[in-house]
Amino acid sequence: MSGPSHIDSYYAASANDKKVRPKLEGEHQCDVCVVGAGFTGISTALSLAERGKRVVVLEGTRIGFGASGRNGGQIVNSFNRDIDYITRTYGEDIGQKMGRMAFAGSELIRERIKKYNIDCDVKHGNVFAACNKKQFEDLKSKKALWEAHGHNDLELLSASSIQDHIGSDRYAGGLLDRKGGHIQPLNLVLGQAQALESLSGIIFEDSKAIRIEQGTPAKVVTEHGVVVADTVVVAGNAYLLGLIPEVEKKAMPCGTKMVATKILPEELQQQLLPTGYCVEDCNYLLDYFRLSGDGRLIYGGGTSYGAREPGKIEQLIVPKMLKTFPYLKDVKIDFEWTGNFLLTLLRMPQVGCIGDNLFYAQGYSGHGVTNSHLMGVILADAIEGDRERYDVFASMPQYPFPGGRMLRVPYTAIGASYYIMRDKLGI
């Protein structure tokens, strides 16, 4: 019987590494066992292996099966809640410390791509596109905020100058972040997995963790084997599937949807995105889009609270795409897919430790590409005794969504409707 496979997506179809890793059988011993082979898990494992630790990664399906291999592929700086909100809510000290970390994830991604020669179609630059004047004023504030925390290479774009980057008259202006960018995300995580293996790290696929036995050492049990480790890191994010209920209840899986067109003629690519930067708009339920390495338009948007699987993705996303680019009405869609990310009530990542040696990190709330990579280094630091940055995240409260499993989805949807209406009214 064949094992699990990636979902049918453009990313899976264009994956550089299609090798299937073995299933865990028998007992293995290591310094650190990481549960989950997405960005958080692989970044943590690679950070530890670079320091000489013996690391075993357990993946229930395939490397990058979840959000890490299905997302929009955009390298977007900072957090879901920006530094000004963090400072107001948690105080000046935490605000300053978070400000120093807000832009580190994108730098780490670039360093790893260069260090390990990862082929993932990396391109620099992203544009935040304002759909109304209120959003454009907010982007002016974002520029000043980021520059105050040392993040430069930003350019404010007027309603006319944004059309130098986006072939649409939909936007009231924008903000260009030249230190943002985009990648083929599945190839990024697969490239780092190969780097981990080159440093003697071991990855087992089709090896779902079904139980963790805490202690010193701890044991992670799968159907056919067990890993005995001094430390365990749980990095399942939206795919924990009951492994640690007390962690899982603190956040809510949400779905996002994407399509990829056929390969477009070069002149049409140039018309769509002349400078090749990726784009996300500033709506609460935002649209995001970019060109792939082989010249397709990848367009995504919308959120399904509770991670419901939509039945007709193309019918949901194409109208959004045509609102931005009406001249694509006859362009064929080659791929459509969805994937789950994890939303927290406070929209901040949740990081913690159960007992002395069971760490977890989850809930990047839509900013996972950069933050998950950084979190891997932060967790590796904490495991080795340096908890300075870890303690900043761990000090933040972690609340479950109101209403429990039954009512959290409708409650969240009701709250979201308020912000959606504000976007429509431009207030």
Give the contacts of 144 (CB within 8 A, at least 6 positions apart).
none
270-274, 411-415, 416-420 — which one is most confidently predicted on average?
270-274
Exposure letters 188-197 (e unless 16+ CB within 10 A, then b) = bbbbbbbbbb
In whole angstroms, give the CA distance from residue 34 to residue 372. Answer: 14
In whole angstroms, give the CA distance from residue 206 to residue 27. Answer: 16
What secondary structure does DSSP assign to 68-113, as a single string? GGTS--EE--S-SS-HHHHHHHH-HHHHHHHHHHTTHHHHHHHHHH
Is the domain defined by 1-122+183-249+345-396 classed in CATH 3.50.50.60?
yes
What's the mean pLDDT when you consider all of the chain? 92
**Tokens linked to 245:** 């209920």
pLDDT digits (tens, 9 = 90+) for 78-112: 999 999 999 999 999 999 999 999 999 999 999 99
pLDDT digits (tens, 9 = 90+) for 359-381: 999 999 989 999 999 999 999 99
**What pLDDT is attached to residue 47?**
98
**What pLDDT is attached to residue 252?**
85
Q: Which of 366, 352, 299 is nearest to 10 (CA)?
A: 299
Q: What is the mean predicted confidence (pLDDT) over 10-24?
A: 97
**What pLDDT is attached to residue 254?**
85
1-122+183-249+345-396 and 123-181+252-343 in the same fold: no
The pairs formed by 320-329 with CB atoms below 8 angstroms and a separation of 24 or more are 320/287, 321/259, 321/289, 321/297, 323/170, 324/166, 324/168, 324/170, 324/287, 324/289, 324/299, 325/167, 325/168, 325/272, 325/297, 327/271, 328/261, 328/272, 328/297
Of the given ranges (100-104, 113-117, 308-312, 344-348), which has the lowest mean pLDDT? 308-312
In whole angstroms, give the CA distance from residue 148 to residue 125. Answer: 20
pLDDT digits (tens, 9 = 90+) for 224-252: 999 999 999 999 998 888 899 999 888 88
Longest alpha-carbon distance in the chain: 63
**Tokens linked to 273:** 């995105």
Phi and psi angles of residue 6, each rounded to the nearest 5 degrees, phi first: -65, 155
Q: Are 189 and 68 in contact (CB under 8 A)?
A: yes
pLDDT band at 413 (very low <50, low <70, confident <90, very high): very low
Q: What is the mean predicted confidence (pLDDT) over 107-136?
A: 98
Q: Is the pLDDT at 415 greater than 50, yes or no?
A: no
pTM more than 0.85: yes
Q: Is the pLDDT at 409 greater than 70, yes or no?
A: no
Give the start-end residues of each E strand in 105-223: 123-130, 154-157, 173-182, 202-204, 211-213, 218-221
In whole angstroms, give the CA distance from residue 286 to residue 42. Answer: 28
pLDDT digits (tens, 9 = 90+) for 183-230: 999 999 999 999 999 999 999 999 999 999 999 999 999 999 999 999
Break the chain into its structural domains and give their ranges. 1-122+183-249+345-396, 123-181+252-343
Q: Are 35 and 61 in contact (CB under 8 A)?
A: no
In whole angstroms, give the CA distance from residue 415 to residue 277. Answer: 32
* Sign of the Cα pseudo-torsion (277, 279, 141, 370, in order): negative
The percent of residues in the chain predicted with pLDDT above 90, rounded, is 84
In whole angstroms, give the CA distance from residue 309 to residue 229. Answer: 36
Q: Is the pLDDT at 152 greater than 70, yes or no?
A: yes
**What pLDDT is attached to residue 1?**
45
Q: Is the pLDDT at 416 greater than 50, yes or no?
A: no
Q: Which CATH number fits domain 123-181+252-343: 1.10.3720.10, 3.40.50.300, 3.30.9.10, 3.40.50.2300?
A: 3.30.9.10
Q: What is the DSSP letter of 275?
A: T
Strand-pair category, 26-35 with 123-130? unpaired
The percent of residues in the chain predicted with pLDDT above 70, rounded, is 92
Q: Is the pLDDT at 331 greater than 50, yes or no?
A: yes
* Cβ neighbours, 10 Å, residue 14: 17
**What pLDDT is attached to residue 402?**
64
